């Protein structure tokens, strides 16, 4: 399958949006583009699966290499392994849901949907690239439009949040850029390359790795809300429009996790081993600290944003533990958290459109007035607290199981800290749900609310479908991801 | 062994019903949902009974030993070499026994609810939740993998949450549901870590392999596992202790019992099913499932379990004497009876005469499920009749509710251990096992057993005697649908004691010889009768004045202030001590640093922006000065120009 | 009478240049500033011619460069005067300090 297809579809959709007029047309074009992209992603997964089961052992398949800037040996080198396929599927699902939940955007529709599609194009390019330069390029494409999305269509303290988000993420990007340029210039002129496969075959000297690894890991880590660089998460998420929050939490934070794994750990195995304790400790702090900070939040979006900090801690924990099981768990957690948090933000958006408040204390008894939305919120919450049958459970358990195989005390302690968060998660999720969905009906006005419209229902069902599918059949994802993690583990010499 | 794949339908049928009613229950099946659920439950029950019959009487026994069967297994999620979550079915005596108990009690509750919950706005949803619970519980008892049991454990927890919070508009119900979920979740944390430890030591999650490795005396696995120590105890003991903590959470053992009384906020049939007969004995089931491992890898933990069990039994019995809410009394009595089951396991040995405690524990689980469900369902009828949970609102109801009265009396006699009712047989075995192993436990248990008789009859007399007849009788006792389950369960309370349980269920699969020792039984029965007489003396007639002011009474009435202690820990320590500082730290320190770096940048920019004055001549001047400086510098450093 | 040498011319051009610099810094009138710039340019031209004549008499590089500067200066003067006229139209003055809006 030609991976260019995955880039062309968003591109064509974007151009069509620019050419079209009328808000309805634009929405339908975006919807069509996102649906076709989802179909393509599913076909990709299907073909990938077929290829893998036919015994192909290449790490990256469907490769295509196009010289983009020959003078510097920069190429648009595309290729996928199981992790990328999983991430692309996630992106396609989340973007489709985000488009559906933006159906009520009426101001500057064209710009909004164009930026949304542009963001998704950036994410696809990021997950497809095997060339560090284009990877970086697409990373930036997936950052900058977010500034506009929050700044223009956001709510609350949006200028501040947009600035903070853009600056912190750009700061992370700067660290990454330094790292990849150093990798590039380690070779004599003529042999220089940004190519991931080439770089993995010619690793850096361990001393250089020790300097570069923190740069790149922290750079990507900022995207994944590594402690203490996580403060863009709550502000950014809470100010963004619904689709923006969904994209931000569902996909942007995964860009970081994917980068940590693909660029930092994969290319600098020795340093990764050395720094693994530090990563694990930071991740454990993020998990517990995020969870405890969530307990005190009163705004639904803040609750979910802080819980994202906690949940993304599991991604970093899995990567830092560096066992095959744990890394598989980290990928699981990325997919699971992407779906679950997109659903949660989506449903918060639906509630907000009706109640015009996001403060937990001002709501109550929504189950009575909007049962469908309430049920969806319930499912999102249960997934967040790791209920078996939904996607959070296999993800977290895989991380724990992988963590316990490292016998050193510090890893065990971090794993136990991770386990501890399941209790705290239960506390804040039930507090939030108990006082919004359940409880006495707060306001008679609520009874006049209409339950979910078709677009909201469709979006919720798509995401819930993903969550449930992963929850009851994690082996599907496992089969997709396992060869890729195996490859990473052999490269970094872990267990 | 016949083809056993049909066993899958036993748990899957409720799951299908849950999905059907969960999705469409609100609209399409709101009226008919109950019948769909009940019918499917009937099929499940029949299949379970048929399975039990086949297992116990036909193919289950090979060479006089009941075998383990694994008719179905699916690798659900691989972790690494040897470690995987398998969804499978494990059949052995306790599984089959639990299947019967769960499906049978669930069927009774389904039938009862048809009348009890009639006219409820969310009737269909109620049955959806009931089905979800039944599915989870059946899955739990069928589990062949320790992680599988953990999964269903969580599902059971969440369905319990949903059912306790069924009246979601009542704040107290929501609070109780949250409390139940969070407390058990906290216990599950222990269980999860315990599972991680055990999985690491045994390199497997599969029950059969686990028991083979860690539950066989003298195996090299045990020797390895015992060697690794942590804080002066073998790691494996810690693991098993933590698994027991999980069990203690679900089974409401002290000090994790605080959720159980509050859980009575749920509809009464739910209390009967979940919080009396099935879910709360999951902890007992878990310990029984891992019993060989406990016996051979960590006997110390087993002893600990015995003390926790007997203490909880006594503690709950004391509190039950002073509660005034009918369901809360029953809740504490449930906790007390589970304590009996727990310490019976704790004092048991593996196999032979030693293994009496195991059999007794399972026997008591079986009989208790029946008579406690009966008590709750009777309480439901009473509550329906007087529209209150408070004992003060009741009294003199024996004419109003004749059938309920008889059923309640039978159940009370059964729980008090009066021959020939069911509880007598199982409790005697437990006491006998304790007597042979540990005299302290025995003494406490004997006292608790007398106390049980006292508080149960206190309840009985307060409901059905106490006052003169008071005619609440604006409606009758209720429809036959309500009373049929009562009668069936009452028959069960009388007859199940005569089942020769030791022949079927034992730790090692071989029959245990159980016989009644009349000499031994005299003391407990006499003490039970004393308790009943005392209750009759105090509570049969209304009398003025009371002892309700004494300090001990007050402390007991407030449940020894355990709730307050918990409230202090959660509100004061966790929220104010950890949560608030974390949030504050995030807002002020971490975010403060981010904002600070922004402010600093701005300050610097502000201070140097004056240079950009807009005066062309000033710019040129600076430019010129710059050139001069550079020229001089080059002259100085390079000396070339 | 002494034949004027390279140093004399360089002295003259330096004096001319700093006269221009002084004028550039001290005047407020844009026309005068423009004139000062022309003075500086001319001093540079003078330098080119002088070096050409005294250092490399056989070459014409300095002359070419001077012609080039004259041409550029003409264009620059035209541009500058256009700007000045526009400034006058909008601000009714050609005081250099009146065009200070482009700051910070």
Per residue in A227-241, pLDDT (tens digit) is 888 888 888 888 889
Select the residue from B174, B186, B203, B227 to test the A interface by mutation, using most A Cβ atoms within 10 A: B174
Query: What mean pLDDT comes out for the span B449-476?
Result: 76
pLDDT (mean) for B11-17: 90
Average pLDDT (A413-441) is 88
C96 touches chain B (CB under 8 A): yes
pLDDT of residue A494: 57
Which one of B80, B169, B193 has the shortest CB-CB distance to A440? B169
Q: DSSP code of B263?
A: G
- Cβ neighbours of A482 in B, within 8 Å: 78
Does B41 score more than 60 pLDDT? yes
Q: Pick from A231, A408, A473 the residue to mutate for testing the B interface (most B CBs within 10 Å).
A: A231
> To the nearest whole percent, how much of chain B has pLDDT over 70?
95
State both tokens at B152: 């269903």
pLDDT band at A487 (very low <50, low <70, confident <90, very high): confident
State how far the Cα of A347 lies from the Cα of B104, in Å rounded to an integer: 39
Confidence class for position B561, pLDDT limits 50, 70, 90: confident
| DSSP output for C5-21 | -HHHHHHHHHHHHHHHH
Q: Which residues on adjacent β-strands are paired with residue B202?
A: none
With helix as H, strand as E and coil as C, how does A319-384 read? HHHCCHHHHHHHHHHHHHHHHHHHHHHHHHHHHHHHHCCCEHHHCCCHHHHCHHHHHHHHHHHHHH
What pLDDT, on the 0 to 100 scale, is given for residue B392?
Answer: 75
> Please, do chains C and A touch (3+ CB pairs < 8 Å)?
no
Q: Could you write out the three-class secondary structure of A256-286?
A: HHHHHHHHHHHHCHHHHHHHHHHHHHHHHHH
B196: which strand partners? none
**Nearest residue on chain B to A395, alpha-carbon basis:** B77
Quick one: DSSP state of residue B355?
Answer: G
Q: What is the mean pLDDT of residues C53-78?
A: 91
Distance CA A440, CA A461 (A): 27
Chains C and B touch (3+ CB pairs under 8 A): yes
Question: Which token pair is B142?
Answer: 């069928």
Judge: C25–B612 Cβ closer than 8 Å, yes or no: no
Whether residue C24 and residue B620 make contact (CB cut-off 8 A), yes or no, is yes
Mark yes or no for CB contact B583/A292 under 8 Å: yes
Give which of C40, C99, C103 to mutate to test B binding, by max B Cβ within 10 Å: C103
Rounded CA gap, A372 and A294, in Å? 25
- Which residues in chain B touch residue C33, judged by CB atoms under 8 angstroms apart? 616-617
Cis before B37? omega within 30: no
Position of tokens 């064209």?
Answer: A110
- For residue A76, give how far its alpha carbon lies from the nearest alpha carbon of chain B (Å): 35
B612 → closest Cβ in C25, C97, C104: C104
Selecting from B609, B615, B624 the residue whose C-beta is nearest the C-beta of C97 gives B615
Distance CA A273, CA A434 (A): 43
| Band of pLDDT at residue C75, cut at 50, 70 and 90 | very high
Pairing of strands B61-62, B65-66: antiparallel
What whole-number distance in Å separates Cα of residue A319 and Cα of residue A261?
Answer: 7
Interface with chain A: mutation pick from B152, B156, B184, B192, highest number of A CBs within 10 Å: B192
Distances (CA, A) of B203 to A376, B152, B200, B207, B225: 38, 22, 5, 11, 11
Q: Are strands A61-69 and B233-234 parallel, antiparallel or unpaired?
A: unpaired
CB contact under 8 A, B165 and A482: no
Query: Residues C26, C32, C36, C39: is their CA dihedral positive or negative?
Result: negative
Q: Give me the pLDDT at residue A120, please.
A: 92
Residue B246's contacts (CB-CB under 8 Å, 6 or more residues apart) are B150, B153, B187, B188, B190, B191, B192, B194, B283, B286
How big is the B-C interface in CB pairs under 8 Å?
25
Q: Identify the closest residue of chain C to B615 by CA–CA distance.
A: C100
Q: According to the model, what pLDDT value does residue A174 have? A: 92
Confidence of residue A201 (pLDDT cuts 50, 70, 90): confident
Instruction: Give which of B485, B402, B185, C67 is closest to A385, Cα–Cα.
Output: B185
- Residue A409 neighbours by CB under 8 Å, 6+ apart: none
Which pLDDT band, with edges at 50, 70 and 90, does C19 fall under? Answer: very high
3-state secondary structure of B74: strand
Distance (Å) from the C-alpha of residue B593 to the closest C-alpha of chain C?
27
Q: Can you list the pairs that B179-183 forms with residues at least 24 positions away whose Cβ atoms lie under 8 Å?
A: B179/B258, B179/B259, B179/B262, B180/B259, B180/B260, B180/B262, B180/B263, B181/A426, B181/A430, B181/B157, B182/A423, B182/A426, B182/A427, B182/A430, B183/B249, B183/B256, B183/B258, B183/B259
Provide, as residue numbers in chain A, all residues whose Cβ is less than 8 Å from the Cβ of B186. Answer: 423
Closest to B617 (Cβ–Cβ): which among C96, C102, C104?
A: C96
Q: Do C24 and B615 touch (CB under 8 A)?
A: no
- Mean pLDDT, chain A, rounded, equals 88
What does the pLDDT average to over B77-91?
84
Among B446-460, B571-585, C57-71, which is the least confidently predicted range? B571-585
Note the pLDDT of residue B473: 54
- For B613, nearest residue in chain C (alpha carbons): C103
Residue A421 has pLDDT above 60, yes or no: yes
Q: How far is CA A76 from the centre of its chain?
A: 23
Residue of C nearest to B624 (CA): C21
Element (H, E) at B202: helix B171-202
Q: Is C83 within 8 Å of chain B by CB?
A: no
Q: Which of B452, B448, B426, B478 is nearest to B330 (CA)?
A: B452
- Least confident among A271-285, A464-478, B488-502: B488-502
Which 3 state secondary structure label does DSSP give B614? coil
Would you give the distance in Å from CA A205 to the centre of its chain?
31
Question: Does the beta-carbon distance from A478 to B78 stay under 8 Å?
Answer: yes
* Predicted model pTM: 0.87
Distance (Å, whole) CA B121 – CA B251: 31
State percent of chain C over pLDDT 90: 60
Query: What mean pLDDT, rounded, does chain B reach?
Result: 84
CB contact under 8 A, B615 and C100: yes
B267 phi/psi in degrees, rounded to 5: -60, 145
Structural contact between residues B20 and B29, judged by C-beta atoms closer than 8 angstroms: yes
- What is the DSSP annotation of A74-111? EEEEEEE-HHHHHHHHHHHHHHHHHHHHTTT--TTHHH
Q: Give the whole-angstrom CA distance, residue A55 versus residue B332.
A: 61
Model confidence band, residue B64 (pLDDT cutoffs 50, 70, 90) = confident
Instruction: Tell me if chain A has a CB within 8 Å of the CB of B27.
Output: no
Find, among B367, B511, B506, B522, the residue nearest to B432 by Cα.
B522
- Asked if the Cβ–Cβ distance from B171 to A420 is below 8 Å, we say no
Please state, in angstroms and rounded to a whole number, the distance separating the CA atoms of residues B312 and B251: 10
A188 Rama class: left (phi>0) / alpha (psi -120 to 50) / beta: beta
C-alpha angle with apex B19: B18 to B25, nearest 5 degrees? 75
- State whether B586 and A231 contact (CB < 8 Å): yes
Contact flag B613-C100 (C-beta cutoff 8 Å): yes
- Rounded CA-CA distance A384/B189 in Å is 16
Query: Are the Cβ atoms of B78 and A292 closer than 8 angstroms?
Result: no
- Whether B544 has a pLDDT exceeding 70, the answer reads no
Task: Identify the top-confidence range among A278-282, B417-421, B485-489.
Answer: A278-282
Return residues 161-190 of B near A (CB < 8 Å). Answer: 161, 165, 168-171, 174-175, 177-178, 181-182, 185-186, 188-189
Beta-carbon contacts of residue B272 (< 8 Å; ≥ 6 apart):
B105, B109, B112, B372, B373, B376, B377, B380
Q: Which residues of chain B are within 8 Å of residue C102 when distances are taken between CB atoms? A: 614
User: Is there a contact between A418 and A339 (Cβ–Cβ < 8 Å)?
Assistant: no
What is the distance in angstroms between the CA of the first residue and the CA of the last residue of chain C? 57
Q: Do B77 and A397 touch (CB under 8 A)?
A: yes
Using the beta-carbon criterion (under 8 Å), do B77 and A475 form an inter-chain contact? yes
What percent of chain A has pLDDT above 90?
36
- Quote the pLDDT of residue B546: 52
- pLDDT for B568: 79
Is B456 strand, coil or helix? Answer: helix
End-to-end CA separation in angstroms for chain B: 105
- Rounded (5°) CA angle C77-C78-C81: 80
**Residue the block writes with tokens 């991380």:** A399
The two three-digit tokens of residue A38, written as one number: 């989802």
**Quick one: pLDDT at residue B583?**
82
- Check pLDDT > 70 for residue A83: yes
Within 10 A of B541 (CB to CB), how many other CB atoms are there?
Answer: 12
- Residue B356 CA to residue A228 CA, distance in Å, equals 58
Alpha-carbon gap: A134 to the closest alpha carbon of chain B (Å)? 29
Instruction: Choose, out of A235, A293, A303, A435, the residue to mutate when testing the contact with B (most B CBs < 10 Å).
Output: A293
**Predicted local confidence at residue B619, as pLDDT:** 85
Decide if pLDDT at A76 tops 60.
yes
CA of B612, closest CA in chain C: separation in Å? 5
- d(CA B319, CA B332) in angstroms, rounded, equals 7
Closest CA to B195 of B231, B254, B143: B143
- Residue B79 tokens read as 């972790």
Identify which of B154, B168, B579 has the shortest CB distance to residue A387: B154
Segment C70-74 shows an average pLDDT of 93
Where is average pLDDT lowest: B6-15, B35-44, B464-473? B464-473
Q: Span B304-318, mean pLDDT?
A: 90
Comparing CB atoms, the residue among B613, B615, B617 nearest residue C24 is B617
Please tell me which of the candidates B609, B612, B616 has its beta carbon nearest to residue C96.
Answer: B616
Q: Are A256 and A311 in contact (CB under 8 A)?
A: no
Q: Is the pLDDT of residue B538 over 60?
A: yes
The tokens describing A21, both together, are 């007029």
Mean pLDDT confidence for A212-218: 91
Contact A154, A243 (CB under 8 A): no
Using CB atoms, pick whichever of B614, B617, B621 lies closest to residue C102.
Answer: B614
B neighbours by CB contacts (3+ pairs under 8 Å):
A, C
Which structure tokens are listed for B326?
A: 């009918």
Q: Which residue of C has its CA nearest to B606?
A: C104
Which positions 572-611 of B are in contact with C (Cβ < 8 Å)? 609
Distance between B96 CA and the closest CA of chain A, angstroms: 24
Question: Is the N-terminal amide bond of B397 cis, ω within 30° of 0?
Answer: no
The residue of chain B nearest to residue C102, with distances taken between CA atoms, is B614
Contacts of B624 in chain C (CB under 8 A): 21
How do residues A16-73 score in pLDDT, each as one tens digit? 999 988 888 999 999 999 999 999 999 998 888 888 888 777 788 888 888 888 888 8
What's the rounded Cα separation, in Å, for the pair B239 and B199?
9
Question: Residue A228, preceding bond cis, omega within 30 degrees?
Answer: yes
């Amino acid at each position: 399958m030609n991976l260019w297809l995955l880039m062309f579809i968003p591109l064509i959709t974007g151009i069509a949006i620019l050419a079209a007029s009328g808000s309805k047309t634009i929405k339908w074009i975006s919807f069509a583009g996102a649906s076709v992209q989802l179909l393509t992603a599913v076909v990709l997964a299907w073909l990938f699966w077929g290829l893998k089961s036919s015994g192909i052992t290449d790490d990256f398949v469907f490769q295509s290499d196009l010289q983009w800037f020959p003078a510097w040996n920069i190429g648009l080198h595309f290729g996928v392994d199981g992790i990328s396929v999983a991430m692309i599927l996630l992106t396609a699902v989340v973007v489709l849901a985000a488009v559906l939940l933006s159906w009520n955007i009426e101001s500057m529709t064209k710009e909004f949907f164009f930026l949304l599609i542009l963001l998704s194009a950036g994410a696809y390019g990021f997950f497809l690239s095997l060339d560090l330069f284009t990877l970086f390029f697409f990373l930036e494409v997936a950052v900058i439009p977010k500034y506009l999305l929050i700044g223009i269509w956001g709510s609350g303290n949006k200028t501040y949040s947009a600035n903070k988000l853009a600056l912190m993420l750009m700061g992370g990007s700067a660290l990454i850029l330094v790292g990849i340029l150093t990798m590039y210039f380690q070779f004599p002129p003529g042999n220089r390359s940004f190519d991931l496969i080439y770089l993995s075959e010619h690793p850096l000297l361990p001393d250089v790795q020790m300097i570069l690894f923190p740069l790149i890991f922290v750079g990507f880590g900022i995207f994944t809300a590594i402690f203490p660089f996580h403060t863009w998460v709550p502000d950014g998420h809470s100010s963004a429009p619904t689709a923006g929050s969904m994209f931000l939490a569902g996909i942007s934070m995964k860009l970081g996790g994917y980068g940590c794994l693909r660029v930092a750990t994969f290319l600098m195995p020795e340093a990764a081993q050395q720094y693994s304790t530090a990563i694990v400790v930071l991740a454990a702090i993020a998990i517990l600290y995020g969870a405890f900070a969530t307990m005190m939040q009163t705004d639904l979006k803040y609750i979910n944003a802080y819980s994202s900090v906690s949940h993304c801690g599991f991604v970093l924990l899995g990567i830092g533990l560096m066992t095959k099981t744990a890394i598989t768990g980290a990928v699981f957690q990325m997919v699971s958290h992407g779906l679950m948090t997109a659903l949660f933000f989506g449903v918060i958006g639906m509630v907000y459109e009706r109640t015009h408040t996001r403060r937990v204390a001002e709501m109550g008894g929504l189950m009575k007035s909007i049962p469908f939305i309430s049920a969806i919120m319930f499912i999102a919450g249960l997934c967040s607290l790791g209920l078996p049958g939904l996607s959070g459970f296999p993800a977290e358990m895989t991380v724990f199981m992988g963590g316990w195989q490292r016998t050193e005390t510090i890893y065990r302690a971090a794993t136990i800290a991770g386990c501890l968060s399941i209790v705290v998660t239960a506390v804040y999720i039930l507090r939030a749900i108990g006082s919004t969905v359940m409880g006495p009906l707060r306001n008679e006005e609520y009874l006049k609310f209409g339950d979910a419209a078709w677009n909201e229902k469709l979006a919720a069902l798509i995401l819930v479908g993903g969550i449930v599918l992963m929850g009851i059949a994690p082996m599907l994802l496992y089969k997709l991801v396992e060869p890729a993690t195996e490859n990473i583990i052999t490269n970094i010499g872990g267990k | 062994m016949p083809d056993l794949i049909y066993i899958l339908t036993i748990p899957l049928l409720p799951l299908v019903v849950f999905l059907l009613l969960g999705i469409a229950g609100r609209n399409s099946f709101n009226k008919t949902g109950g019948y769909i659920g009940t019918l499917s439950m009937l099929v499940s029950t029949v299949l379970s009974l048929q399975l039990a019959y086949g297992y116990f009487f036909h193919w289950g026994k090979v060479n006089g030993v009941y075998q383990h069967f694994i008719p179905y297994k699916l690798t659900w999620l691989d972790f690494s070499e040897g470690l995987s979550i398998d969804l499978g079915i494990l059949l052995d005596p306790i599984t089959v026994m639990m299947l019967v108990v769960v499906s049978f009690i669930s069927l009774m509750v389904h039938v009862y609810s048809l009348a009890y919950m009639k006219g409820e706005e969310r009737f269909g949803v109620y049955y959806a939740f009931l089905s979800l619970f039944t599915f989870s519980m059946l899955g739990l008892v069928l589990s062949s993998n320790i992680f599988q049991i953990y999964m269903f454990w969580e599902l059971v927890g969440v369905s319990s949450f949903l059912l306790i919070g069924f009246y979601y508009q009542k704040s107290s119900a929501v609070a109780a549901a949250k409390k139940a979920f969070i407390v058990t979740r906290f216990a599950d944390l222990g269980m999860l870590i315990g599972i991680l430890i055990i999985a690491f030591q045994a390199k497997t999650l599969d029950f059969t392999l686990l028991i083979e490795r860690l539950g066989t005396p003298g195996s090299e696995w045990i020797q390895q596992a015992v060697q690794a120590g942590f804080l002066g105890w073998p790691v494996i003991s810690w693991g098993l202790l933590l698994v027991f903590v999980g069990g203690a959470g679900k089974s409401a053992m002290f000090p994790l019992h605080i959720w159980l009384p509050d859980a009575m906020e749920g509809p009464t049939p739910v209390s009967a099913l979940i919080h009396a007969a099935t879910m709360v004995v999951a902890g007992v089931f878990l310990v029984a499932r891992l019993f060989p491992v406990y016996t051979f890898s960590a006997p110390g933990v087993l002893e600990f379990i015995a003390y926790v069990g007997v203490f909880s039994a006594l503690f709950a019995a004391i509190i039950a004497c002073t509660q005034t809410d009918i369901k809360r009394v029953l809740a504490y009595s449930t906790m007390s009876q589970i304590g009996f089951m727990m310490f019976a396991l704790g004092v048991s040995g593996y196999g032979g005469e030693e293994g009496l405690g195991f059999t007794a524990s399972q026997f008591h689980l079986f009989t208790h499920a029946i008579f406690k469900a009966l008590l709750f369902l009777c309480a439901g009828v009473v509550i329906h009749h007087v529209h209150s949970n408070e004992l003060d609102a009741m009294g003199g109801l024996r004419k109003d509710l004749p059938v309920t009265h008889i059923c309640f009396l039978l159940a009370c006699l059964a729980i008090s251990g009066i021959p020939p009712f069911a509880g007598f047989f199982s409790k005697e075995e437990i006491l006998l096992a304790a007597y042979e192993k540990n005299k302290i436990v025995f003494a406490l248990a004997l006292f608790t057993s007398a106390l049980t008789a006292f508080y149960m009859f206190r309840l009985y007399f307060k409901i059905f005697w106490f006052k003169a007849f008071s005619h609440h009788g604006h409606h009758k006792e209720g429809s036959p649908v309500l009373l049929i389950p009562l009668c069936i369960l009452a028959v069960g309370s009388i007859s199940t004691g005569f089942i020769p349980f030791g022949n079927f269920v034992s730790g090692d699969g071989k029959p245990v010889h159980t016989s009644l020792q009349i000499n031994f039984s005299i003391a407990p029965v006499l003490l039970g009768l004393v308790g009943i007489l005392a209750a009759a003396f105090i509570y049969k007639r209304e009398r003025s004045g009371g002892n309700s002011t004494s300090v001990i009474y007050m402390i007991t009435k407030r449940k020894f202030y355990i709730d307050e202690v918990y409230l202090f820990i959660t509100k004061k320590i966790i929220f104010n001590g950890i949560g608030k500082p974390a949030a504050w730290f995030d807002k002020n320190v971490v975010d403060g640093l981010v904002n600070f770096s922004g402010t600093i940048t701005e300050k610097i920019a502000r201070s140097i922006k004056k240079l950009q004055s807009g005066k062309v001549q000033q710019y040129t001047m600076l430019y010129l000065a710059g050139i001069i400086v550079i020229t001089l510098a080059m002259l100085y450093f390079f000396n070339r120009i | 009478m002494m034949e004027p040498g390279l140093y004399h011319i360089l002295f003259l051009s330096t004096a001319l240049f700093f006269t221009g610099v002084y004028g550039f810094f001290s005047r407020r009138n844009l026309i005068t500033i423009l004139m000062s710039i022309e003075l500086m340019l001319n001093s540079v031209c003078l330098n080119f011619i002088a070096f050409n004549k005294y250092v490399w008499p056989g070459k014409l590089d300095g002359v070419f460069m001077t012609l080039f500067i004259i041409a550029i200066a003409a264009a620059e003067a035209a541009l500058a005067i256009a700007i000045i006229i526009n400034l006058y139209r909008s601000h009714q003055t050609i005081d250099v300090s009146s065009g200070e809006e482009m700051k910070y």
